[in-house]
């Protein structure tokens, strides 16, 4: 049986389109299926001028420090990693999570946090609802946002970020009376949050995997 040339052409076009879609969209796997941290996207690696490798972390870490070495290890495992882009995304993520926790946005918290962190958030939201309380949080400013540790582990990268921030935050009871906080006085809050991303991630996804207050 002789094949119609038009059918052959259309079949080849269909295969080409499927190949392009796969190359653009990639495959999602592991914890990244629950997290879409597009604001922390890592750009494609670009050629660096001579000497740039020796100075590329100078704005983020002390040369020869564990943090410097950790950033080196992440860059080797994930060549498109850019610490400046990462920190910008981490700032956005911090504000998103704090706002979501304040208003009880369970879906946003679920999409940005690991099972363990989400479980802690969810339990706190349930306790707050049981007491009939509401939380109002208004972001004022970042005083500083710095990376404190970084490492490339066998499965993925982990980066801990210290957030020194100011918020106006208040807790109201069932009657709407303020039981905690001051609407006229910003409160300084310092936290260290840890983000993780798989080495084989097909998208620019980072997940919040740990939070800890700094006393």
Question: How do residues 63-102 score in pLDDT, each as one tens digit?
Answer: 999 999 999 999 999 988 999 999 999 999 999 999 999 9
Report yes or no on whether pTM surpasses 0.85.
no
Domain for residue 16, yes or no? no
Task: Give the chain's domain count.
Answer: 1
Q: For residues 211 and 113, give the distance between their C-alpha atoms in angstroms, rounded to a whole number.
A: 10
Domain for residue 75, yes or no? yes
Single out the residue of 145, 162, 146, 153 nearest to residue 197, CA to CA: 153
Query: How large is the average pLDDT for residues 104-131?
Result: 94
Single out the residue of 137, 160, 135, 136 nearest to residue 150, CA to CA: 160
Give the residue numbers spanning the domain of 75: 28-213
Domain for residue 94, yes or no? yes
| Res. 202 pLDDT band, cuts 50 70 90 | confident
Domain for residue 7, yes or no? no
CB 165 within 8 A of CB 190: yes
Terminal Cα distance for the chain, rounded: 80
Domain for residue 10, yes or no? no
Query: How confident is the model at residue 25, as a pLDDT?
Result: 29
Q: For residues 155 and 140, give the distance between their C-alpha atoms in angstroms, rounded to a whole number.
A: 36
| Res. 7 pLDDT band, cuts 50 70 90 | very low
CB 170 within 8 A of CB 1: no
Angle between helices 115-131 and 83-103 (to 10 degrees): 30
Domain for residue 184, yes or no? yes
Non-local CB neighbours of 165 within 8 Å, separated by 6+ positions:
94, 139, 140, 141, 142, 143, 188, 189, 190, 191
In this model, does residue 45 exceed pLDDT 90?
no
CATH at residue 194: 3.10.450.240
Q: For residues 145 and 158, give the distance between their C-alpha atoms in angstroms, rounded to a whole number.
A: 16
In this model, does residue 176 exceed pLDDT 70?
yes
| Res. 54 pLDDT band, cuts 50 70 90 | low
Domain for residue 104, yes or no? yes
Burial (CB < 10 A; 0-12, 13-18, 19+), residue 74, is: buried
Query: How confident is the model at residue 52, as a pLDDT?
Result: 52
Domain for residue 12, yes or no? no
Q: For residues 204 and 197, give the distance between their C-alpha atoms in angstroms, rounded to a whole number.
A: 8
């Amino acid at each position: 049986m002789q094949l119609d040339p038009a059918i052959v052409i259309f079949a080849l076009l269909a295969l080409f389109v499927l190949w392009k879609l796969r190359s653009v969209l990639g495959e999602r796997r592991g914890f990244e299926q629950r997290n879409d941290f597009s604001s922390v996207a890592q750009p494609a690696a670009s050629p660096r001028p001579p000497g740039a490798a020796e100075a590329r972390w100078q704005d983020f870490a002390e040369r020869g420090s564990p943090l410097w070495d950790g950033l080196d290890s992440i860059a080797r495992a994930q060549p498109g990693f850019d610490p400046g882009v990462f920190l910008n995304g981490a700032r956005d993520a911090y504000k998103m999570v704090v706002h979501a926790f304040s208003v009880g946005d369970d879906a946003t918290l679920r999409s940005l946090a690991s099972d363990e962190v989400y479980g802690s958030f969810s339990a706190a939201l349930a306790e707050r609802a049981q007491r009939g309380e509401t939380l109002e949080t208004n972001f004022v400013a970042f005083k500083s946002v710095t990376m404190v540790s970084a490492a490339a582990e066998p499965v993925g990268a982990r980066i801990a970020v210290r957030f020194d921030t100011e918020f106006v935050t208040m807790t109201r009871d069932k009657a709407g009376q303020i039981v905690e906080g001051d609407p006229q006085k910003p409160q300084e809050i310092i936290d260290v949050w840890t983000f993780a991303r798989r080495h084989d991630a097909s998208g620019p996804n980072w997940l919040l995997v740990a939070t800890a207050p700094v006393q």
